């Protein structure tokens, strides 16, 4: 019997010995090349896989600790060591993959590991090798610099200081004068660090372009697609899909926004009016963080035996770090530990309804991991990111019947959640088109980038532009500077929109036939990363967002649903 897992705080911090581990990986690669039989080759693969798991788990542990407190010297040092050492180890990993692809025992290994595994190996050798280690080290450093700069945001407001996430609450206040004052404090602070942010991004674009050239690509875009492990769709398909969002969703989003301003009796909306959904204030979740976790326990107890067991497992092992704190990185994420076979949730609760979104979203990711954790090949547990986001975004909708546990006026939350999910699509398309432009024009100046962002906002979200008057930061086109994915996960954004459309399909099905919707959802989670995105959808009888008509068909029932909520 294995030892019980200690609570998260008791896990010892270990910095991987990257040089030694890279040497070991080199030995396994040599041994694989010499393996006399398929069986022997598979044994060597197993050893390599265990080595990769332990290096990755230790590095993940460090990244989690650092993101929770970027100010702590011990974590910063360990994180720096990972930024530097991990790409060097990865370079050896890629050499192992190369040997695997060339192995005379490939047929035997494919039977053991699955043919998709080999497709993934192919992509990993096309997207990374020892030629670009220095550039990846540099990229890691710049991304950490960005994370730390955003985490260090501390805005003086009404005698207190607040970080990026904590300011949100004031920006949503029903008191317009308070919103205005908060917005002025926020944007004047952001103006102060904008040049630094632009500078970090400029360096990122340059270093990414350099690595693409070294790997033999014309620009970063094809390399970016490979790094995102996109197997079954292309930039052209994505472009067409973005245009569909523009055509179908932008006018609907415009209507939703207009209705919001009318409800709030705001004639000429400003940037500080955008986040307020109801005149009395946005629906706020009840109680403390502990209360929210208790409510989630009850919800997951009732949803299914599996959700009950696994949510409690996370709570029992302290695998959630939920509250916003000084020095903490912004945003929310779920990550996992392959050897311990547990996920971890990181978020920044700030007392808004976003707390509930993030809890259900990240638990959706966690649930998928639990469902697939017994798949023997670690690489086949987690699907690619757009598929991962289906699991999380659909969980947000499966949770809707329990929103009375979190809100006094649950329909107001449901309305806000659904309306925002629709309005999100044109924003997601903006972020994606922006990135395609950025990497097609790597020599553009920061001013040109901002101008491009501004013109894309005009295209996809014209209703926002009208609110920007009087806010120099937004008028300049700088909203993207706080969109972390643009810095830290290039091209990871259209994924959310693709997943959102599938999640809408789950939501529509859930209201018609909960049992069937849940069954399909669990099946999708269990398939893990055994197949690429479009194959997963097909096997689960779900429609592809790229297909003609999918977008319209998913959205139509939602408009009726929006009208059904009791919000007055
Ligand atoms: Zn997610």
Residue 358 Cα to ligand 1 middle (Å): 9
Alpha-carbon distance of 178 to 162, in angstroms, equals 15
Domain membership flag for residue 371 = no
Using an 8 Å Cβ cutoff, are 505 and 498 in contact? Answer: no
Residue 33 Cα to ligand 1 middle (Å): 39
DSSP assignment letter at 157: E
Alpha-carbon distance of 417 to 412, in angstroms, equals 8
Q: pLDDT tens, 208-218?
A: 999 999 999 99
Ramachandran assignment for 308, one of left (phi > 0), alpha (psi -120 to 50 degrees), beta (any other):
alpha
**Domain count of the chain?**
2
Alpha-carbon distance of 446 to 282, in angstroms, equals 35
Strands of the 320-323 sheet, one edge to the other: 320-323, 342-349, 333-337
Domain holding 465: CATH number? 1.10.1370.30
Query: Which residues, including other chains, have CB under 8 Å from residue 253's CB and lie 6 or more apart?
Result: 422, 423, 425, 426, 461, 463
Using an 8 Å Cβ cutoff, are 202 and 443 in contact? Answer: no
The reply to whether 88 and 179 lie within a common domain is no
Domain membership flag for residue 317 = no
The phi, psi pair for 10, rounded to 5°, reads -90, 0
Domain membership flag for residue 361 = no
Residue 351 Cα to ligand 1 middle (Å): 20
Stretch 395-409: mean pLDDT, rounded? 97
Stretch 467-485: mean pLDDT, rounded? 96
Helices 550-564, 410-440: inter-axial angle, 10-degree rounding = 150
Return the percentage of the chain with pLDDT > 70, whole number.
100
Domain stop point among 92, 123, 142: 142
The reply to whether 34 and 128 lie within a common domain is yes
Q: pLDDT tens, 412-440?
A: 999 999 999 999 999 999 999 999 999 99
Residue 29 Cα to ligand 1 middle (Å): 34
Q: Which helix (H) or strand (E) holds 289?
A: helix 289-303
Residue 312 Cα to ligand 1 middle (Å): 20
pLDDT at 302 over 60: yes
Measured between alpha carbons, how far is residue 40 from residues 28, 33, 43, 46, 314 in Å? 12, 11, 5, 10, 38
Domain membership flag for residue 509 = yes
Measured between alpha carbons, how far is residue 362 from residues 116, 118, 368, 491, 521 in Å? 26, 29, 10, 20, 15
Domain stop point among 98, 122, 142: 142
pLDDT at 395 over 60: yes
pTM of the model: 0.94
Q: pLDDT tens, 50-88?
A: 999 999 999 999 999 999 999 999 999 999 999 999 999
Q: pLDDT tens, 186-203?
A: 999 999 999 999 999 999
Q: Which residues pair with 342 in a beta bridge?
A: 337
Alpha-carbon distance of 192 to 5, in angstroms, equals 45
The domain in which residue 264 lies consists of: 170-283+407-568
The reply to whether 104 and 182 lie within a common domain is no
The pLDDT assigned to 2 comes to 62
Residue 557 Cα to ligand 1 middle (Å): 24
Give 164's pLDDT tier (boundaries 50, 70, 90): confident
């Amino acid at each position: 019997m294995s030892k019980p897992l200690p609570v998260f705080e008791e896990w010892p911090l270990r910095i991987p010995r990257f040089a030694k581990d890279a040497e070991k990986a080199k030995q396994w690669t040599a041994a694989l090349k010499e393996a006399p039989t398929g069986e022997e080759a598979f044994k060597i693969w197993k050893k390599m896989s265990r080595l990769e798991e332990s290096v990755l788990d230790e590095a993940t542990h460090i990244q989690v600790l650092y993101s929770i407190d970027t100010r702590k010297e011990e974590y910063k040092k360990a994180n720096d060591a990972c930024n530097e050492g991990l790409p060097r180890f990865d370079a050896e990993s890629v050499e192992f993959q190369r040997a695997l692809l060339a192995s005379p025992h490939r047929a035997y290994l494919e039977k053991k590991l699955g043919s998709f595994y080999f497709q993934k190996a192919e992509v990993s050798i096309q997207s990374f090798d020892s030629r670009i280690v220095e550039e990846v080290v540099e990229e890691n450093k710049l991304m950490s610099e960005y994370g730390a700069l955003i985490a260090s945001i501390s805005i003086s407001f009404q005698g207190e200081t607040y970080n990026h996430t904590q300011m949100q609450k004031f920006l949503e206040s029903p008191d317009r004068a308070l919103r205005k004052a908060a917005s002025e404090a926020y944007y004047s602070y952001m103006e102060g660090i904008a040049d630094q942010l632009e500078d970090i991004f400029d360096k990122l674009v340059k270093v990414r372009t350099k690595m693409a050239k070294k790997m033999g690509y014309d620009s970063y875009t094809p390399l970016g697609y490979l790094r995102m492990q996109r197997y079954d769709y292309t930039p052209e398909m994505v472009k067409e899909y973005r245009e569909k969002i523009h055509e179908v969703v932008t006018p609907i989003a415009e209507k939703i926004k207009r209705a919001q301003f009318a409800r709030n009796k705001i004639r000429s909306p400003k940037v500080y009016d955008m986040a307020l959904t109801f005149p009395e204030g946005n629906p706020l979740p009840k109680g403390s963080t502990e209360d929210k976790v208790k409510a989630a326990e009850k919800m997951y107890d009732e949803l299914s035996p599996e959700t009950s067991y696994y949510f409690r497992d996370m709570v029992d092992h302290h695998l959630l770090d939920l509250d916003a704190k000084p020095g903490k990185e912004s945003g929310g994420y779920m990550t996992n530990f392959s050897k311990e076979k547990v996920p971890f949730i990181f978020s920044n609760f700030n007392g808004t309804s976003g707390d509930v979104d993030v809890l259900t979203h990240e638990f959706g990711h966690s649930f998928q991991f639990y469902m697939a954790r017994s798949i023997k090949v670690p690489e086949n547990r987690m699907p690619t990111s757009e598929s991962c986001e289906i699991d999380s975004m659909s969980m947000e909708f499966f949770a809707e019947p329990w929103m009375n546990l979190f809100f006094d006026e649950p329909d107001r939350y449901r309305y806000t959640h659904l309306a925002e999910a629709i309005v999100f699509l044109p924003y997601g398309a903006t972020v994606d088109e922006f990135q395609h432009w950025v990497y097609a024009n790597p020599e553009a100046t920061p001013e040109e980038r901002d101008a491009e962002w501004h013109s894309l906002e005009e295209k996809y979200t014209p209703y926002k532009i009208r609110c920007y008057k009087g806010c120099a930061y937004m008028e300049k086109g700088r909203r993207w500077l706080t969109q972390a994915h643009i810095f830290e996960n290039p091209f990871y954004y259209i994924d959310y929109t693709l997943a959102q459309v599938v999640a809408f399909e789950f939501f529509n099905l859930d209201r018609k036939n909960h049992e069937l919707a849940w069954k399909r959802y669990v099946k999708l989670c269990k398939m893990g990363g055994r197949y690429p995105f479009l194959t997963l959808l097909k096997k689960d009888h779900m429609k592809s967002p790229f297909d003609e008509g999918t977008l319209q068909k998913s959205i139509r029932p939602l408009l009726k649903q929006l009208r059904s909520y009791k919000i007055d």
